[in-house]
Structure 1
Amino acid sequence: MNAFEINGLSKVYENGNRALNDVSLTVPKGSFYALLGPNGAGKSTMINILADTVRPSSGTVSLLGHDLFNERNWCKRRMGVVPQEIAFDPFFTPREVLRFTSGLFGCKPDEAWLDELLDRLELTVHAGKKARQLSGGMRRRLLVAQALVHRPELVILDEPTAGVDVELRRKLWDFMRELNDAGTTILLTTHYLDEAEELCDHVAIIDHGALLTAQPMRALMRDIASSYLWLNYGQAVTLTDADHDALAGLEPRSSDEGVCLKLGRSENGDSTFHQTYQAAVARFGPPLDAGVRSEDLEDVFLRLTRRAGGDDAAAECKS
């Protein structure tokens, strides 16, 4: 069974803005799924639809086999959402907020679980303060705790680490990994693409309301990410038309320190490093240094969303 099955989801607002355009997406149960896209791509609209705070113009969504829009109460008891916007009641303490939130989900407060949430999210020493006394980062962590009080089967994290310092961000992700390892499905939106690459086993990228790709992270990086051979000559290399002709298919690029060439795969799947290196040395001479740079998720993201000018990843190919 899948956690989410989204079919033909579209949203057109009253002003005519089409935020989502016929998006279909399957989120496997137990996955740690990244939903990525530039600002304005439609991520927040999709999250708000999944959280049932925005109604779609068309399309269907099922959660664990149940219709999200016709079985709202059943679905909401099994879902926890951490929104981008920080909303809190300033007159209650974090512990009181968590107790009230438990009641909203129809659960009796589990004090042991609340203690664990406060501890894992570094809020124990602040549990007696009024929420208005908490910093922005503490309030965001309180939102995470609220989303988890009823032990949901699915957690949606919409930019959960914005404004959270590096150390606490790492502890939050350790906690999320533990929940995921225990079977909780996690859907994450973030602009920290290094985090998404490290944490997530699946990824979907949307732009202008359309789905560009959705697949396992390893498959995306294997099939779309490229590798480049960089050669350091201590200065930029001026490439001539003859160089481009001789190195056709290797996409030669001049960099600040020399030149870089795109690596491919032979018929048996091996890297063409040695052939590419030999071709470059024959053309430009032995380099002072050489190495390989592989694209990361950020490079792939920028290329797919066409926000990087097309060749920036190659231009950055250097030591």
Structure 2
Amino acid sequence: MKTSNAVEVRNLTKTFNNNIVVNNVSFDVKKGEVFGLLGPNGAGKTTTLRMMTTLLKADSGSVKIFGHDTRKEGRLSRSMFGLTGQYASVDEDISSRENLMIFSRLNGLSRTDSKKRTVELLEEFSLVDSADKALKNFSGGMRRRLDLAVSLITRPKLIFLDEPTTGLDPRTRSQMWETVRNLVANGSTVVLTTQYLDEADQLADRVAVIDHGKLVKIGTPSELKEQVGGTNLNFTVNKLDQVNTAVKLAKEQTGTLVNLTNQQINVKLAKIDQLTPLLVDLKKSKISISNLTVQEPSLDDVFMKLTVGKN
């Protein structure tokens, strides 16, 4: 069954104790992309992922993995993806090498193939030097890398990552980001949940913003930022007697409200294309400016606009 999508989610709904946790959520994940489920704690993103990976039964709706319905073809669907949760599923009393060997055997690999795959994964995730140490002595980042390695034993084309960098230090987070990029570069599709806006911005080709169980927006990070709108332009007018003229030119070029603080001008551009004509007009009028900064909207702005105050 051929499909251009790795995952197709239709009308997923889940209720706990009369509380709708996931409310009629639908989206597609394209092959070869990093798809982010972004939302605050309790938004429903992890519940959505658990239903997608058959760990939780939906009240209604459907999920297809590479065209296969997870309800009707559960075993086949599960064989097509790897899952790394927020907490390691590995045994802390034994080494990373032993863990990888055990999970390789559980995944049906022969003893010889299990040894080979274990060595490959230890090298890929920089765990060779600590391969024979008990996991109880591992850092959080090392445990997370091992858990991801376990989920990749069978080289799945689809990988679900549930908040993969929660609790990690900035350096280890950056290493995990690089690992995700490498997975995609080698042909994998990645679905990740995160509450970190910078993570979604750095990694995701597309982002679905979930709040109070509902899908409130979906698009590329750039598209979401454009929808929020408003590139912030700030500059200082060096001569006091030129301030009023500069404000007038800014209003004429942008058609928006211009904020003035002493000689500092702030204006929100609807489109970045408005910047050059304004600078040309200022130059023609011989208005001297300094401290020019242009700040694009961030996913923080998107997140705040889409989720704050929603009921």
In structure 2, distance between residues paired with 1:304 and 1:92: 45
The equivalent residue for 2:165 is: 161
In structure 2, distance between residues paired with 1:156 and 1:175: 14
In structure 1, distance between residues paired with 2:93 and 2:291: 62
142-151 or 128-137, which deviates more? 128-137
The equivalent residue for 1:117 is: 121
91, 115, 137: which one pairs with 2:141? 137
In structure 1, distance between residues paired with 2:260 and 2:140: 45
In structure 2, distance between residues paired with 1:306 and 1:276: 33
The equivalent residue for 2:45 is: 43
The equivalent residue for 1:258 is: 264
Describe the SS at the equivalent of 2:273: coil
Letter in 1 for 2:136: R
Q: 1:255 to 1:34 in 2, by over 3 A?
A: farther
22-31 or 91-100, which deviates more? 91-100
The equivalent residue for 1:195 is: 199
The alpha carbon displacement at 1:73 in A equals: 1.4
The equivalent residue for 1:232 is: 236
In structure 2, distance between residues paired with 1:45 and 1:53: 9
What is the alpha-carbon root mean square deviation over aligned residues?
3.0
Letter in 2 for 1:137: G
The alpha carbon displacement at 1:48 in A equals: 1.2
Which sections of structure 2, spanning at least 5 residues, go unmatched? Answer: 239-246
The answer as to 2:33 corresponding to 1:28 is no
The alpha carbon displacement at 1:47 in A equals: 1.3
The equivalent residue for 2:208 is: 204
253-262 or 144-153, which deviates more? 253-262
Q: Percent identity?
A: 35
TM-score by length of 2: 0.83
Letter in 1 for 2:153: V
The alpha carbon displacement at 1:8 in A equals: 0.4
Q: 1:255 to 1:307 in 2, by over 3 A?
A: farther
The answer as to 2:107 corresponding to 1:105 is yes
The equivalent residue for 1:7 is: 10
In structure 1, distance between residues paired with 2:173 and 2:119: 19
Describe the SS at the equivalent of 1:179: helix
Describe the SS at the equivalent of 1:21: strand
The alpha carbon displacement at 1:163 in A equals: 3.0
Letter in 2 for 1:38: P
In structure 2, distance between residues paired with 1:202 and 1:271: 24
Going by fraction, where is helix more abundant, 1 or 2? 2
The equivalent residue for 2:302 is: 300
Q: 1:233 to 1:140 in 2, by over 3 A?
A: same
97-106 or 43-52, which deviates more? 97-106
In structure 2, distance between residues paired with 1:21 and 1:163: 28
Which sections of structure 1, spanning at least 5 residues, go unmatched? Answer: 235-242, 309-319
Is the contact between residue 82 and residue 151 of structure 2 (CA under 8 Å) also seen in structure 1?
A: yes
The equivalent residue for 1:273 is: 275
The alpha carbon displacement at 1:167 in A equals: 3.3
Is the contact between residue 201 and residue 218 of structure 1 (CA under 8 Å) also seen in structure 2?
A: no
In structure 2, distance between residues paired with 1:29 and 1:257: 51
133-142 or 218-227, which deviates more? 218-227
Describe the SS at the equivalent of 1:272: helix
TM-score by length of 1: 0.81
The alpha carbon displacement at 1:256 in A equals: 9.6
Describe the SS at the equivalent of 2:232: strand
Matches within 5 A, 1:207-222: 207-222=211-226
Letter in 2 for 1:30: G
Q: 1:98 to 1:168 in 2, by over 3 A?
A: same
The equivalent residue for 2:190 is: 186
